[in-house]
Amino acid sequence: MSEAGEHTASVASSDHEHEAPKYMLIWLYLFILTVAEVGVALLDVLPKWVIVVSLLAMAVWKAVLVAMYYMHLKFEPSRLRLVAVAPLPAVAIMIIVIMMEYVL
């Protein structure tokens, strides 16, 4: 019956036994990253490919922060995380394969 106990617990009470995430700290990260992005793009001193790669890296970093903390993915059961990343392979396949038209 332990299964039952677990279940009701997760349905009835909310899933926030974890300590409250530091929302303001994340906000600060996001702010700094945005400033850094704009800086990198507008100063335009680095080689083009470095700019592109670093901008993409920072964008992904920000997106992951939002998903993990604001959307609470970090604190969700891993099964839910699986749902959240499910479309990513399809996205990757779509974009990479269509791009191969030009690369091959």
Q: Which residues are near another protein by CB under 8 A?
A: 1, 3-4, 6-8, 10-12, 14-16, 20, 23-24, 26-27, 30-31, 34-35, 37-38, 40-42, 44, 51-52, 55-56, 58-59, 62-63, 66-67, 69-72, 76-77, 79-80, 83-84, 86-88, 90-91, 93-95, 97-102, 104
Q: 47 or 102, CB closer to another protein?
A: 102
Please count the residues of the chain.
104
The CA distance from 44 to 72, in Å, is 35
Structure tokens at 102: 């030009």
**Least CB distance from residue 45 to another protein, whole Å?**
13
**Least CB distance from residue 52 to another protein, whole Å?**
6
**Least CB distance from residue 2 to another protein, whole Å?**
11
**SS3 (DSSP) at 68:** helix
Residue 46's contacts (CB-CB under 8 Å, 6 or more residues apart) are 40, 54
Residue identified by tokens 């001193």 is: 45
